[in-house]
Structure 1
Amino acid sequence: MRIAVFCGSGAGNDEKYINEIKSLGEFFAKNNIELVYGGGKVGLMGAIADSVMQNGGKVYGVIPEKLEEKELSHTGITKLKVVKNMHERKAEMAANADAFVAFAGGAGTLEEIFEVWTWAQLGFHNKPCVFYNTNGYYNSLFDMMDNMVKEGFLKQQYVDMLIKTDDKETMLKALKEYKAPTQKW
């Protein structure tokens, strides 16, 4: 299984995030889960890649030329692919992953997980989407999703299709049991 992880290029203000992403990387390696990620060597991105590699796993990074030129690419991973832009990066990651996980991060992390979640809603893929909710990071976002349902802009079945957890074993079990919802149209 290959899992794309979207996460911060920064480490955040609480060590819980860096510690948990390292633990997640170790869990991936020990469960023969290959990591697909944004190819960076910094922040949470670099930490999960390092952890997977240090524990004998495989890591596939995809980084845009502009970021690679700034020497932000991780050269110590299984394979690094340099692409022209962010659109190509996301398409490459999506094509090479069996599931998607949003860990703590900023606008880019949200943009990436929301795009693949939208694609799943539209039936462009049947891959699960996970919000890995370390330290309650996504609780306010989950409240917003509930408001979107309440206000009639999002169907409950599309909220229910998301895997929301802060536990690695629960996540893996849910990924293995995932059933995509019926198509929107």
Structure 2
Amino acid sequence: MVESCDNANESAEFTATNNTTATGDTDVPVVPKKSYLYLFFKMVLDFLFIGFFLSSVLSYVENSNQPLIRAARKPEPFFAENSTVRDYWSGKVFSGFQDAAYYESSFFFFYAAWDRESQEARAEMEIVGQFFSESDVLIAAVNCWYPTSDCAKEFGGKSGAGNILPVFIFYPKLLNGIQYRGQTSAQHIIRYLL
């Protein structure tokens, strides 16, 4: 028991001598600055982690019932580069109408590149284009599905209020267009245009 009292006195003397400041005051304990900085940075990191976690949970909860929307793919040419069908694959329908002014008449094929019926009509339009390649009839195709295209904006191909694609329209010189509603075969279209 005596030894434990001696040890307690020695430890009290040790802390008393080590707690003195540079001025010699023994009332104020000296705490190294490193421990304050360490605690401060640890608290900041803890708050950042908690903030990140809460913002992740909150953003998930807010957006959990909204459908995922992907941007539309950029349009690509629907017909080959050497095709006799003039392809306005970016949907610039007004450029097509300007080009049609140089021809006696024109036949426009409005399509959606992903649509099966449009893809099947592509081969038939190639035959029609080859047939009229030496004539004064413009055979043109316009992508009317790409959302930001002139065709989709003007004719509402994607909104559901517009026509169901593919659509074929014959434009005689200086007259309004006449929609072709016949079979989608080259033979029938050629007979219609003649």
**Which category describes the TM-score, using the shorter chain as reference length?**
under 0.3
Q: TM-score, normalised by structure 1?
A: 0.27
Higher-RCO chain (CA-CA 8 Å, sequence separation at least 6):
1
Larger Rg: 2
